[in-house]
Structure 1
Amino acid sequence: MEEIRRAAVAYYENLPEEKKQYARFIFNKMDRNRDGRINLHEYVEYLKKDNNTVFTHPSMFRALDRDGDGSLDFEETITLYYILFSGRALFCKCCDTFLADIYFSCFQCFCLDESPSTYDICCDCYGGKRFTHHDDAIFWDNYTLLSQSRSLALEAPVQKRRHVLKTIGMIVQVTGIVVGGACLASSSSCSIM
């Protein structure tokens, strides 16, 4: 979880002011008793109302509670904000563990299948062969998959490459991922490469 926490802080620091204010708004909305801390009950109630019940398991709350004091301060909720709004909310298809670190995805499902599922599994399930998937499945870890996907996009003919990069730009815009203070997809002169 520490790597995601670091990414979340970097993500938050580069958000435009309006998105930072929205993160604070979300925190205040969760903090029902206005004590500046979010307890497990407030956390679960907010996520149930927001239809994010997958995060209501107490183990997720404990993972977010960096100092172990039984509540979340604003800095600890930045990680939750990042997970929810960056699309980083991934769970192992086999054991339902939150994928906080390196994980494996089926290459065919990720790149070739039109299904929304990429069949992501944790290292333990992959290494221990505790999963069932199609027989010809090729699994790559998330870092290799990202790198290889970019390489494949760059090798594509220019017209197809532009389509792929435009699609990536739209995904970036929808999730609100910000680089250098400006959304990549919002600038017509901005280059993704």
Structure 2
Amino acid sequence: MEQIRRAAVAYYEHLPARNKKLAWKTFKAMDKNGDGQISLLEYVNYLKKNKATDIIHPSIFTALDKDGNGSLDFEEAIVLYYIMKSGRALICKGCDSFLAGAYFSCSQCFFNGDSDSTYEICCACYGGKNYTHHGDAIFCDNYTLLRQSRSVIQQAPIKKRRKVLKSHKKTLLVAEITVGLAGLTVGAADLASKCNCSIM
């Protein structure tokens, strides 16, 4: 979780002033009683109201609560803001816990352009085979998947890459860049077959 905290702080520091104000405004909107802390109930109510149910999972709130006092201060809420903006609210399909560090993804599910769902599991569940997924699944850790996605993208014709970059420059956020470009530059089946996730 410390890596996500550091990324969140760096992300926040580079935000324009208006976005920092938006982060503060979001915090104040969650803090219904105005005590400078977001309780679990305030957290859940705000996220339900804003249809952000993928972040309601209790293990995310627990991970965000760095000091373990049962509530989130603004510093802890910056991490929540980052998770919301970056799409890092991933839950392990094996043990149902928040994926705060390295994790494994099914490359076929990741590159399937016909579906929004992906299949991620923590390192412990992958190593211990504590998951149920399709038999021919090829799993990659998130860093390898990102690097191999870039390699496949670079193989696409330059005109196509430029067109995709130009049209999506304003809408892509943090780690979503690879996902969005990969799905548009080559077919999902072709990309999944090229990404065999060999790290040796």
Q: What is the TM-score with the length of structure 2 in the denominator?
A: 0.78
Size of the alignment, in residue pairs? 175
Which stretch has the larger CA shift, 95-104 or 8-17?
95-104
Distance 1:175 1:88, change over 3 A: farther
Q: Which residue of 2 aligns with 1:144?
A: 144
2:127 partner letter: G
Distance 1:46 1:126, change over 3 A: same
Q: Is the 8 A contact 1:107 1:139 kept in 2?
A: yes
Q: Is the 8 A contact 2:54 2:89 kept in 1?
A: no
Task: Give the distance between the partners of 1:135 and 1:165, measured in 2 at CA.
Answer: 35
Q: Secondary structure at the match of 1:33?
A: coil
- Following superposition, which runs of at least 4 residues in structure 1 exceed 6 angstroms of deviation? none
Q: What is the TM-score with the length of structure 1 in the denominator?
A: 0.80
Q: Secondary structure at the match of 2:93?
A: coil
2:66 partner letter: R
Task: Give the distance between the partners of 1:21 and 1:6, measured in 2 at CA.
Answer: 20
Q: Which residue of 2 aligns with 1:154?
A: 154
Which stretch has the larger CA shift, 19-28 or 118-127?
118-127
- Percent identity reads 62
Q: Which residue of 1 aligns with 2:10?
A: 10
2:170 partner letter: Q
* 1:111 counterpart = 2:108: no
Q: Which residue of 2 aligns with 1:173?
A: 170
Task: Give the distance between the partners of 1:162 and 1:114, measured in 2 at CA.
Answer: 23
Q: Secondary structure at the match of 1:115?
A: coil
> What's the offset of the Cα at 1:105?
1.0
Q: Secondary structure at the match of 2:114?
A: coil
Q: Is the 8 A contact 1:85 1:175 kept in 2?
A: no
1:173 partner letter: K
- Counterpart mapping for 1:1-193 below 5 A: 1-163=1-163, 165-166=165-166, 170=168, 173-174=170-171, 176-177=173-174
> What's the offset of the Cα at 1:108?
2.0
Q: Is the 8 A contact 2:59 2:97 kept in 1?
A: no
- The CA deviation string for residues 19-75 of structure 1, in whole angstroms up to 9 with x for no partner, is 110000000001111111112222222122122234334432221111122221111
Distance 1:7 1:32, change over 3 A: same
Q: Secondary structure at the match of 1:146?
A: helix
Task: Give the distance between the partners of 1:118 and 1:56, measured in 2 at CA.
Answer: 18
Q: Is the 8 A contact 1:153 1:164 kept in 2?
A: no
Distance 1:31 1:99, change over 3 A: same
Q: Secondary structure at the match of 2:105?
A: strand
Which ranges of structure 1 fall in alignment gaps of 5 or more residues? 179-193
> What's the offset of the Cα at 1:143?
0.4
